[in-house]
Structure 1
Amino acid sequence: MRVAIIPARGGSKRIPRKNIKDFCGQPMLAYPIQAAMRSGVVDKVVVSTDDPEIADIARHYGAETPFIRKAELADDFTGTTDVIRNAVAELQQQGWPLSACACIYATTPLLNGERIAAAYQILRSSKADYVFTAGSFSFPIQRALLQTPQGGVVPFDPASIMLRSQDLAETFHDAGQLYWATADTWLDTSKSVFGAGSRMLLLPAHLVQDIDTAEDWQRAELLYQLLQVPAQ
Structure 2
Amino acid sequence: MRLAIIPARGGSKRVPRKNIKDFNGKPMIGWSIEAALLSAAFDEVWVSTDDAEIAAVAQKFGAKVPFIRPAELSDDHTGTSAVVRHAINWALQHQLKPEFVACIYATAPLLQAEMLKEAMLQLQQDAALDYVFSGCRFSFPIQRALYRSESGKVSAVDPASIPKRSQDLAETYHDAGQFYCGRAQSWLDAKPVFSSGSYLYELPQHLVQDIDTEEDWLRAELLHQLLLKRL
Shorter-chain TM-score range: over 0.9
Q: Runs of 4+ in structure 1 displaced over 2 angstroms?
A: 148-151
Identity across matched positions, percent: 58
Deviation at 1:48, TM superposition (A): 0.3
Specify the alignment match of 1:86 in structure 2. 86
Distance 1:184 1:23, change over 3 A: same
Kindly report which structure 2 residues correspond to 1:37-48, keeping only aligned pairs within 5 A, or say none.
Answer: 37-48=37-48
- Do the aligned residues in 2 keep the contact of 1:112 with 1:229 (CA within 8 Å)? no
Offset at residue 69 of structure 1 (A): 0.7
CA RMSD of aligned residues (A): 1.3
Deviations 1:126-171 (A, max 9, x none): 2311100100001000000001344321001112121111111110
For 1:186, the aligned partner's letter is W
Amino acid at match of 1:181: G
Secondary structure of 1:195's counterpart equals: coil
Which residue does 2:64 correspond to in 1? 64
Cα distance in 2, alignment partners of residues 230 and 118 from structure 1: 21
Deviation at 1:209, TM superposition (A): 0.7
The aligned counterpart of 1:111 is 111
Equivalent residue, structure 1, for 2:138: 137
Any unmatched runs of 5+ in structure 1? none
TM-score (norm 2): 0.96
After superposition, what is the alpha-carbon deviation per residue over 1:43-86, rounded to whole angstroms, capped at 9, x for unaligned? 11000000011011111111111111111111111111111111
Under a length normalisation based on structure 1, what TM-score does the superposition of the two structures give?
Answer: 0.96
| Residue matched to 1:167 | 168
- In structure 1, give the amino acid aligned to 2:44: K
The structure-2 alpha-carbon separation of the partners of 1:172 and 1:71, relative to structure 1 and needing over 3 Å to count, comes to same
Contact between 1:112 and 1:230, CA under 8 Å: does it hold in 2? no
* CA displacement 1:105-141 (0-9 Å, x = unmatched): 0011111210000111111222311100100001000
The residue matched to 1:88 in structure 2 has which SS? helix
How far, CA to CA, are the matches of 1:30 and 1:205 in structure 2? 22
Alpha-carbon shift at residue 230 of structure 1 (Å): 8.3
Question: In structure 1, what is the equivalent of residue 153 of structure 2?
Answer: 152
Q: Name the SS of the counterpart of 2:136 in structure 1.
A: strand
Matched to 2:4, the amino acid is A
Distance in structure 2 (CA, Å) of the matches to 1:81 and 1:27? 24
SS in 2 for 1:134: strand
* Cα distance in 1 between the residues matched to 2:77 and 2:117: 30
Per-residue displacement from partner, 1:159-205 (whole Å, max 9, x unpaired)? 2121111111110000000000111111012x100011100110110
Q: Which residue of 2 aligns with 1:185?
A: 186
C-alpha separation in 1, matches of 2:208 and 2:91: 30
Larger displacement relative to structure 2 (123-132 or 147-156):
147-156
SS in 2 for 1:110: coil
SS where residue 13 of structure 1 aligns? coil
* Secondary structure of residue in 2 paired with 1:54: helix
**Correspondence for 1:224:** 224
Helix, strand or coil at the partner of 2:194: coil
Q: Evaluate the alpha carbon distance shift between residue 55 and residue 230 of structure 1 in structure 2; reply closer, same or farther with a 3 A threshold.
A: farther
Counterpart Cα distance in 2 of 1:228 and 1:33 = 17
- Amino acid of the structure 2 residue aligned with 1:198: S
Cα 1:229–1:113 shift into 2, 3 Å: farther
Query: Within 2, Cα distance between the matches of 1:71 and 1:117?
Result: 32
CA distance in 2, matches of 1:104, 1:199: 16
- Give the counterpart letter for 2:13 in structure 1: K
